[in-house]
Amino acid sequence: MKIKAKVIEGVQIGAKFGIATANLELNSLPKIEEGVYLVTVNLEQKSYDALFHFGPRKTFGGDFSAEVHILDFNQEIYGETLNIELGKKLREVRAFKNADQLFTQIETDILVARKYFMRQKIKKQWNALSLHDQAVLSEKAVHHISAKVEFLEAKRVFVYAPQLGKEISFVAPLMEKFPDKDYLFPVVKGEAMEFFKVDDYKVLEPADFGIMAPKAEGISFNVEAGDLMLVPAVAADKNGNRLGKGGGFYDKYLATLDSSVKTLAILPRFAVVDKVPTQKHDQTLDGVVECEV
């Protein structure tokens, strides 16, 4: 859905968080639920990531408000008309006990929004790759990993089944090239993961969340069982901060991982960013292997 609205003067709540707030005048109310939405704001042929609040200010008096909080934006736009493309609903509008609780929630909203938009941008870049480009990434990933001391010395390696067109497909050829290593694949059980040894990549089957996984049969391996973990990621930065898919499974597992187990993400260069937005529960990696098309 698209919404057109004029920017009017109002409370600049975003200034506290280093972002711009645009209070909006709507000619007619859009037929959407009250809530906080992830949106794209279009202004003067440029697009900006933003949060859209639509509904009463329940913490401060209850007056109705339509406002966008625009990330990475500092222009004066009073009187301008914004074209807003509505995206995913982030949460309900709710009342907080005090301003501090509201501000804490807004900080969280901003971080979640930054993660969401980063995932969307990386996804677009994946969609632009040809099958040839993807094959090149696969070859380079195997080449780079094969030269890593951490991998060469590892006897047991935690791996995963990359999603086609969304992640570099390096695991199957890596297993063929180094058949003497033990490869441990994840199985999601409830809100946790367990890892099982797989000798043949072809035995993996479709599982939850659109991934391939082994059957949960035999002995599962604990966090101390491996020497190296190759961790799936949407993006990462050079400080080891990782952007996952949003489920939190790997962050929970990494939090319990023995410090002797090294962790690496295998990513195309476009997914290695300057800075990944992080929250308290996010776990860091020991390194990132960059692959260029």
Residue in 6, 19, 57, 62 with CA at minimum distance from that of residue 36: 57
Distance in angstroms (rounded) separating the CA atoms of residues 167 and 11:
43
Residues for the chain: how many in total? Answer: 293
pLDDT at position 223: 66
> Who contacts 116 (Cβ-Cβ below 8 Å, separation ≥6)?
38, 88
pLDDT at position 258: 87
pLDDT at position 14: 78
- At 166, list the tokens: 């969304």
CATH 2.40.30.30 fits 2-127, yes or no: yes
Domain boundaries, the chain: 2-127, 131-291
Domains 2-127 and 131-291 share a fold: no
> Who contacts 129 (Cβ-Cβ below 8 Å, separation ≥6)?
137, 165, 268, 293
pLDDT at position 11: 66
- pLDDT tens-place values along the chain, 293 residues long: 999 999 998 667 777 888 888 999 998 889 999 999 999 999 988 999 999 999 998 988 778 999 999 999 888 888 999 999 999 999 999 999 999 999 999 999 999 999 999 999 999 999 999 999 999 999 999 999 999 999 999 999 999 999 999 999 999 999 999 999 999 999 998 888 899 999 999 999 998 888 899 987 766 777 667 899 999 999 999 999 999 999 889 999 999 998 899 999 999 999 999 999 999 999 999 999 999 99
Tell me which fold the domain 131-291 belongs to: Rossmann fold (3.40.50)
Cα 77 → chain centroid: 30
Distance in angstroms (rounded) separating the CA atoms of residues 98 and 202:
55
Distance in angstroms (rounded) separating the CA atoms of residues 151 and 144:
10
CA distances from 149 to 211, 216, 255 (A): 29, 30, 24
